Amino acid sequence: MDHFDLLRGARLVGVLTGAGISTASGIPDYRGPDGVWTRSPSAVNAFTLANFMADAVVRKEFWRSYTGHAAWQAEPNAAHRALADLDRAGTAVRVLTQNVDGLHQRAGLAARKVLELHGTMHTTRCTRCPERLPTPEVLARGEEDPRCSRCGGILQLDVVLFGQTLDADVLGRARSIAAASEVFLAVGSSLQVEPAASLCAVAAQAGATVVIVNRDPTPYDETATLVLRGDIDVVVPELCAALAA
C-alpha cells in the first residue's frame, strides 16, 4: 500500500507549521545549519522577554533584525499555496502556525482558518497601554528603540517572546483542532518549542494520522505515523494531492 493511501478521504486536516515551511520563500529558519540563532547564538537574547524589557541595547538589536527582515518581501511558496488550494478544493484545512510571517494568509487561506500561535510581525503593540498599530508604520519612523506615541511605553512586535505565555484561547482552540483532525501534518517545525509541539501528541492520542515533514529528526518522530525528510515545497504539494484524491 502506498503510504499516502492513509491520507485519502480526510475531511479535516490540521497543519502545524514552523519556520521550515518558509525557508523556500527566502526566510531563514532559527535552528537549522544556516539558521538565525545558529549563526548568531547571542541573537536569541533579543527574543527573551526579560532581556527585551530591561535593556535598550537588546531592543535595538531586536528592531534592527526586523527592519530589513526577508519576510517583508517574501512570497508564499508551493507548500503554502498547496495547503490553501486543498482547502479551496473542499477539504477543511486549519493551520496552526508557529510562524509570524503571514504567508499562509498571503497564499489565500482565510485568516479565520489560521491560528498564529506565536503572534504576527505585521502588527506592533504597546506593552503599557492598549495601543496597537501596523508594524510598517513603526519601522517607517526610523527609531532604534520606538516608543508608544500615546503613553511612552515600550513597543513590542505582536509576537510571543521566550518567557511569555501563549494566548490561552488560541492554544485551547489549537488543541481542539488537533484533537478533531483526521490527518495532522507537522511541517517544518523542529518540534522543540512547547506547548505548540505537543499538538502532535494531542492529535495522535485522538487517533489522527500524524505526518511529520522536516529536514531533521524531531522529538515527536516516534509519535508519528509517517516521517518524511524531503524538501518541504515538494513534499507538501504531494501530500495535498493525496489528500485531495
Residue 43 confidence (pLDDT): 64
Dig out the grid coordinates for 82 from the structure: 498547496
Residue 84 confidence (pLDDT): 98
- Cβ atoms of 23 and 80 closer than 8 Å: no
Q: Which of 3, 80, 104, 118 is catalytic?
A: 118
182: DSSP letter: S
- Asked if 118 is an active-site residue, the reply is yes
Residue 9 confidence (pLDDT): 85
101: Cβ contacts below 8 Å, ≥ 6 apart? 22, 25, 27, 71, 74, 121
Q: How many residues does the chain have?
A: 245
pTM over 0.85: yes
- Strands lying side by side in the sheet with 132-134: 132-134, 119-126, 155-159
pLDDT tens for each residue of the chain, 245 residues long? 466 788 888 999 999 999 999 999 999 876 655 555 545 556 677 789 999 999 999 999 899 988 888 999 999 999 999 999 999 999 999 999 999 999 999 999 999 999 999 999 999 999 999 999 999 999 999 999 999 999 999 999 999 998 899 999 999 999 999 999 999 999 999 999 899 999 999 999 999 999 999 999 999 999 999 999 999 999 999 999 999 98
Residue 1 confidence (pLDDT): 40
Q: Which long-range contacts (CB under 8 A, 24 or more apart) does 25-31 make?
A: 25/70, 25/74, 25/75, 25/76, 25/77, 25/80, 25/101, 25/103, 26/70, 26/73, 26/74, 27/69, 27/70, 27/71, 27/74, 27/101, 28/70, 29/188, 31/190, 31/192
